[in-house]
Structure 1
Amino acid sequence: MKLLNRESELLRALLNRDEQGYQFAVRKYSAGMLATALRLVDSATAEDVVQDAWVTVVDAIGSFEQRCSLQTWLNTITANRARSRLRRSWRELSLDQQDIESDFRSRFSGEGRWKQMPAVWDTVSPEQLLQCDELQNCLNQHISSLPENLRTVLQLRDISQLEADQICNILDLSASNFRVMLHRARQRVYLMVEHFEETGQC
C-alpha cells in the first residue's frame, strides 16, 4: 500500500475497512491520542484509553461527519474515553475513606489548612523540606498512589497550573465537586508531608 499523504485518502481507506489503512492511522495518530489521554489519566491507564478509543473508531468511523480534522476527532474520542474512566473511578470510593476523612477533620480546617502547624516548621520551612530528595521521592510516590480522580485534579491544578474552570470543562465536573476533590487530594498530601517531617519516613 502506498504511503497515504492526504487525510482524504486515509479516511477513504478507513471507511473501506482497509487493514493497512488502520495500521497506518494507528502509527500516525496514536502519539497525539496518548498525549491527550495523559492530560487526564496516568500513563498505564492512558495506554488502555487509546486502545479503547481505536475500538470506538472502528465502530464509529462511518458516522464521522468531517466537520473537523480526523486528528481532532480522534483526540476528542480519546478525551471522552478518558473522562469515562475517571467518572467510573470516582464512583469507586476507597474502603478507608471514612477513616481518612476523620483524620482530616481532626487535623485540618474546612479550608484545608492545618488547625495547628507542625512544630518542626518553627525551624524548618516547607520550602526547605521540599529540597530534600527523599521527601521529593516520597511525594512523587504518594501522588502516584492517590485515587485516579484525586490525582488528576491535583495534577491539573497544582502541577499543570490550569484554572479551575478549565479543569471543570476538561473533566466535566461541577465547581463544587472540583473543590471537594482538590481539597481531599491536598489534604492527603499534607498528611504525608506532616508524617515525613515528624518521622523521617515515607
Structure 2
Amino acid sequence: MVEPEIIKNAQNGDREALIQVLREIETHIYRTAFYILGNEHDAMDAAQESLIKIYSKIHLYEEKALFKTWIQRIVTNVCIDKFRKKKVNVSIDEHEMVIKGDDNVEKEIISAYVAKDIEEAIAKLPEHHRTVVVLRYLQDFSYNEISTSLDLPLNTVKSYLFRARQQLQKLLHDYQKGGVQG
C-alpha cells in the first residue's frame, strides 16, 4: 500500500504525491468495484468516481484509520450507491481465456471454470453479503477492518460472513460432491 509520508505530502498539496497515491490504489479500487458490481463497465465507472472522491477528499483522511480502510469505505459506498440508483441485476461477463501450449492446459481450463463459477456464486449473494465476502476473501481485510470500512458492528460483519458462506456452500454444492462434469 501507499507509504504514509506520500499520503501526508498529498494531503499537503503535493501534486506529484497525490498522483502517486492515485496510481498505487487504482488497481485495488477497480478490483473491489468489479467484485462488488460484477461487470467491467460499472466497475470502471465506480473506480473512476472513487478516485475522484479520494482526490477531492484526501485532505480529510485522518491517520487514526488505516488508509486502505479509508479508501475501501469510499469505493464500497460508491458501489452501494450505484446499486441503489440502478437496482442492478449483477451478471458476470464472459472472460476471455488464453490457453498456453503447456502440460497444464487441462488444469488451467478447469481452474478458469471454477473461478468463473465462484465469481457467479458471489454475484448471486445479496449486496451486503457480497460486499463482506469481497473485502474478507478477495481483499484480505480483517473483521475489524471490514467493520470500520462499512461502519457496521463487528458481530454484524461476522453474521454476514457466516450467512454468505452458507449461501456460497449451497450455490457451489456440485463442487462439494466431487466437481461439476461438463
- Give the structure-2-normalised TM-score: 0.49
Larger radius of gyration: 1
TM-score of the aligned structures, taking structure 1 as reference length: 0.46
